[in-house]
Structure 1
Amino acid sequence: MTKIVVVGGGVIGLLSAWMLARDGVAVELIERGQTGHEASWAGGGIVSPLYPWRYDPAVTALSEWSQAFYPALAERLLVEVGVDPEVHVTGLYWLDLEDEAKALAWAQAQGLPLEAVSLERVRAAVPVLGHGFARAIHMPGVANVRNPRLGRALRAALEALPNVQVHEHQVVTGFVEHAGRIGGVRTAAGAIEGDAVVVAAGAWSGDLLAPLGVTLPVEPVKGQMILYRCAADFLGSMVLAKGRYAIPRRDGHVLVGSTLEQAGYDKTPTDEALASLRATAAELIPALASAPVIRQWAGLRPGSPEGIPFIGEVPGRKGLWLNCGHYRNGLVLAPASCRLLADLLQGRRLEIAPSPYAPKGRLVR
Structure 2
Amino acid sequence: MRSNGHYDVIVVGGGAIGASIAYELVQKGMRVALIEKHQPASGASGAAGGMLAASSEHFAAPELYELALQSRALYSQLSEQLHELTGINIGLRTEGFLLPIHHQQDMDWESRQRRISEAQAKGMEWWDNERLATEEPNVRAEDGMLYNPAEPQLVPSLLTEAYVAAFIRLGGTLHSDQEVIRLLREPNGRGLVHGVITEHGILYADQVVLASGLGTSRLLAAEGLRLPFLPVKGELMEIRTPIPWLHHTIYSDTIYIIPKHPHRIWVGATSKPGQHSTIVEAGAVVELLMRAQRYVPILTKGELVRCWAGIRPGTPDELPYIGPVRELQGLWVAAGHYRNGILLSAGTAKLMTEAITTGKDTFIPHAFRPERALYQLSSASNRYQRGGIATGHNVRES
* TM > 0.5: yes
Distance 2:167 2:260 in 1: 26
Q: Tell which deviates more after alignment, 345-354 or 300-309.
A: 345-354
The one-character-per-residue Cα deviations of 1:299-349 (angstroms, maximum 9, x if unpaired) are 111111332111110121111100111000001111111100011111278
1:130 to 130, 140, 154: 140
**What corresponds to 2:35 in structure 1?**
30
- Asked if residue 205 in structure 1 is aligned to residue 216 in structure 2, the reply is yes
**What corresponds to 1:6 in structure 2?**
11
Q: TM-score scaled by structure 2?
A: 0.85
How big is the shift at 1:360? Answer: 2.4
Alignment CA distance shift 1:10-1:121 (3 Å): same
**What corresponds to 1:300 in structure 2?**
311
Aligned 8 A contact 1:228 1:294 in 2: yes
The one-character-per-residue Cα deviations of 1:100-150 (angstroms, maximum 9, x if unpaired) are 566556557xx631243323322322111135x345222112110111111
Distance 2:137 2:59 in 1: 29
**What corresponds to 2:348 in structure 1?**
337
Alignment CA distance shift 1:354-1:344 (3 Å): farther
**What corresponds to 1:160 in structure 2?**
169
The one-character-per-residue Cα deviations of 1:231-250 (angstroms, maximum 9, x if unpaired) are 55321211123421100124
* One-letter amino acid matched to 2:244: D
- Asked if residue 171 in structure 1 is aligned to residue 176 in structure 2, the reply is no
1:227 to 213, 224, 238: 238
Distance 1:153 1:242 in 2: 30
Aligned 8 A contact 2:254 2:291 in 1: no
Residues 281-320 of structure 1: pairs in structure 2 closer than 5 A: 281-320=292-331
How big is the shift at 1:221? Answer: 1.0
Count residues with an aligned counterpart.
361
Where structure 2 has 5 or more consecutive residues not aligned to the other structure, the ranges are 1-5, 376-385, 387-398
1:141 to 134, 138, 150: 150
Distance 1:286 1:174 in 2: 51
Alignment CA distance shift 1:299-1:277 (3 Å): same
Aligned 8 A contact 1:58 1:308 in 2: no
Aligned 8 A contact 2:132 2:144 in 1: no
Distance 2:306 2:18 in 1: 27
The one-character-per-residue Cα deviations of 1:258-294 (angstroms, maximum 9, x if unpaired) are 0001353211111111111122232221111122210
Distance 1:254 1:112 in 2: 27
Residues 238-277 of structure 1: pairs in structure 2 closer than 5 A: 238-277=249-288
How big is the shift at 1:363? Answer: 2.2
- Asked if residue 70 in structure 1 is aligned to residue 68 in structure 2, the reply is no
**What corresponds to 1:120 in structure 2?**
130
How big is the shift at 1:50? Answer: 7.8
> SS of the counterpart of 1:267?
coil
Alignment CA distance shift 1:53-1:10 (3 Å): closer
* One-letter amino acid matched to 1:278: L
Distance 2:138 2:97 in 1: 15
The answer to which structure has the higher helix fraction is 1
CA-based RMSD of the aligned residues comes to 2.3
Distance 1:122 1:13 in 2: 39
> SS of the counterpart of 1:192?
strand
Alignment CA distance shift 1:121-1:13 (3 Å): same
How big is the shift at 1:159? Answer: 2.0
How big is the shift at 1:49? Answer: 4.6
2:64 to 59, 71, 74: 59
Q: TM-score scaled by structure 1?
A: 0.92
Distance 1:102 1:92 in 2: 19
How big is the shift at 1:356? Answer: 2.3
Where structure 1 has 5 or more consecutive residues not aligned to the other structure, the ranges are none
Distance 2:272 2:159 in 1: 26
Alignment CA distance shift 1:33-1:103 (3 Å): farther
Alignment CA distance shift 1:156-1:325 (3 Å): same
Which one has a bigger Cα radius of gyration? 2
Distance 2:243 2:364 in 1: 41
Q: Tell which deviates more after alignment, 184-193 or 353-362.
A: 353-362
- Asked if residue 323 in structure 1 is aligned to residue 334 in structure 2, the reply is yes
